[in-house]
Amino acid sequence: MISTIETETQSARKPHADILIVILFSLVLRGVLFYLRYREYLLSGGSDAITAFGGSDVPGWLGMARHLNQVGDFSYWLMGLRPPLFPATVALVLRLGGNTVHAAILQTLFGVVTPVLGYLLALRLFSRSARIVNPHRLALLAGIVMAFDPASVSSSVVLLSEPLFNLLFIATLLHLTIFIQESRWWHLAFAALWLALAMLTRSTMIYFWAVAPFILVPLVKKWWRPALVLMVVSLGVYLGWSVRNLRYQGLYTYSTQANFSLLFLRAASAEHLATDIPMDDIYVTYVRELYQSVGDEESAAKAEAEDLWHFLVADSPEIYAAMGQMARAKLIEYWPAAIAATGIGAWRVLFVTNVFPGWFKPVEIAYHFLLYGLMLWGVWCSIRSRDWPLFLIAGVPIVYMIGLTLVAQTSAMDTRMRTPVSGPIIILAAYGLSAVLAAIRVQRKAVVG
């Protein structure tokens, strides 16, 4: 009796011990990287942009944050491109007397917590899987890999939106999973809340409500109820922020990122691949045509490659519409190259982290081949075992996030764009690894027998 009680107590305590292990690995790795980047920041003279913590995109985010802190409204021009939650967190740090380094520390802590939520998601899924013998051990393995994942570590210590977004995305999946397993509506409420906040962090989340039924329909009897909740909340956020863009930019759209990326990051890549025309020349042509489309011949005559950044937030609805029309026309004209460029983009998103030194790239690529190989095997095993919760809850977000990213652009990308789904990828890979190890054990028993 005492032995049984001790066993149950150890089983109850084990998740807490595992959480501490994941936190330790996650904190140490991200702490070391923070130290290295902070030292780089100090050596560079401590510029306000803090390029050591994310590069050229950092000044834009910090400009939004300073505007929110000093002016307190949503009129800043770059908000037409980027939703406000991440710069609002930085603005809060500044308002409380902190500085951008303190904001970077907060971001790092977001990155520390993300693998912990990934571990909890893995434990939830593995504990309900009939074919997993030791779900605690496998979930711990998945959590440790999440803590060590190179792209995730790198993207955790930046003054960009990824650390906050990745945390909110995995929190959405975790609470959605608990709702599916236990039918507790307050978990659905939390899932809807995290989804709304994720939408306000990165615009790539705005269509997730539309793919959520692919998870809910097979797993929840009255699936339309939670699907309706997610839809109403998501459309409320979408419509609300689009009203902001209508007021300040004259464009009823959630983000001007869509047409900009399709034209300058997708269509331009396709044309370059098809014609071998230098990218700068293509940019000049696009900029000139856009200005000419609205009758601005003076700006068209002065067009330079760098002027493409003027269209991050379109000056008028006419310019924005012209960008979309040109992007669609170019993608149709160069559709074979556009398809081929998708493969190049997939390689960048899935295999290469630009900030890593050259000596580490072979290690990273080998790691990714192993990771994705095990993930694909995990997908196959989950289908064969009819382990639909794990297949859908992990698989649908991967297809959504990677697919939407590759539709929008193929250049200016690396593994930072896949880090939102690092958790689901690693969960499926751990599941695949467990199947491999189980097969090895069966073979050994057969040989011994």
Distance CA 329, CA 267 (A): 9
Tally the C-alpha atoms within 13 A of residue 66's C-alpha that lie toward its C-beta.
10
User: Is pLDDT at 221 greater than 60 in this prediction?
Assistant: yes
| pLDDT score, position 9 | 39
- pTM to 2 decimal places: 0.93
| pLDDT score, position 447 | 78
| pLDDT score, position 449 | 63
Residues 286-322 have pLDDT tens digits of 999 999 999 999 999 999 999 999 999 998 899 999 9
Number of domains in the chain: 1
| Residue 109: band (very low, low, confident or very high) from pLDDT cuts 50, 70, 90 | very high
| Residue 218: band (very low, low, confident or very high) from pLDDT cuts 50, 70, 90 | very high
CA 153, 158, 162, 164 dihedral sign is: positive
| pLDDT score, position 31 | 97
Taking a C-beta distance cutoff of 8 angstroms, is the pair 283, 268 a contact?
yes
DSSP notation for 59-70:
HHHHHHHHHHHH
User: Is pLDDT at 13 greater than 70 in this prediction?
Assistant: no
Q: Which residue has the tokens 């809910």?
A: 216
Choose among 365, 378, 441: nearest CA to 142: 378
| Residue 49: band (very low, low, confident or very high) from pLDDT cuts 50, 70, 90 | low
User: Is pLDDT at 197 greater than 90 in this prediction?
Assistant: yes
Mean pLDDT of all residues in 220-238: 97
DSSP notation for 82-123:
S-SHHHHHHHHHHHTT--HHHHHHHHHHHHHHHHHHHHHHHH
198: helix, strand or coil = helix
| pLDDT score, position 242 | 96
Taking a C-beta distance cutoff of 8 angstroms, is the pair 54, 131 a contact?
no
User: Is pLDDT at 11 greater than 80 in this prediction?
Assistant: no
Expressed as residue numbers, the domain containing 428 is: 14-253+341-448
174: helix, strand or coil = helix
| Residue 446: band (very low, low, confident or very high) from pLDDT cuts 50, 70, 90 | confident
- Residue partners of 106: CB distance under 8 A and separation at least 6: 89, 93
**Could you tell me if residue 357 is inside a domain?**
yes
| pLDDT score, position 14 | 66
Two tokens, residue 384? 């064969």
**Could you tell me if residue 269 is inside a domain?**
no
Mean pLDDT of all residues in 424-437: 97
| Residue 441: band (very low, low, confident or very high) from pLDDT cuts 50, 70, 90 | confident
Q: How far is CA 399 from CA 93, 166, 218, 257, in A?
A: 35, 16, 17, 20
Choose among 134, 110, 111: nearest CA to 122: 134
Q: How far is CA 353 from CA 145, 153, 356, 357, in A?
A: 17, 11, 6, 9
CA angle 197, 203, 207 (to 5 degrees): 90
- Residue partners of 191: CB distance under 8 A and separation at least 6: 172, 175, 176, 179, 230
Q: Taking the mean position of all CA atoms in its chain, how far away is CA 211? A: 16
More confidently predicted of 127 and 9: 127
| Residue 2: band (very low, low, confident or very high) from pLDDT cuts 50, 70, 90 | very low
Mean pLDDT of all residues in 412-419: 90
Distance CA 153, CA 132 (A): 28
Q: How far is CA 201 from CA 88, 196, 197, 319, in A?
A: 10, 9, 6, 25
Mean pLDDT of all residues in 25-50: 85
Distance CA 5, CA 180 (A): 30
Distance CA 449, CA 437 (A): 18
Distance CA 136, CA 213 (A): 29
Distance CA 279, CA 267 (A): 11
| Residue 48: band (very low, low, confident or very high) from pLDDT cuts 50, 70, 90 | low
Choose among 178, 281, 283: nearest CA to 291: 283
Residues 330-347 have pLDDT tens digits of 999 999 999 998 999 999
| pLDDT score, position 374 | 98
**Could you tell me if residue 146 is inside a domain?**
yes
Q: H helices of 128-223, where?
A: 135-148, 150-156, 162-182, 185-199, 208-219
User: Is pLDDT at 5 greater than 60 in this prediction?
Assistant: no
CA 170, 106, 60, 54 dihedral sign is: negative
Q: Taking the mean position of all CA atoms in its chain, how far away is CA 221? A: 30
Distance CA 4, CA 127 (A): 20
**Could you tell me if residue 141 is inside a domain?**
yes
Residue 259: Cβ-neighbour burial (10 angstroms; 0-12, 13-18, 19+): buried
**Could you tell me if residue 131 is inside a domain?**
yes
Residues 346-377 have pLDDT tens digits of 999 999 998 898 999 999 999 999 999 999 99
Amino acid at 139: A
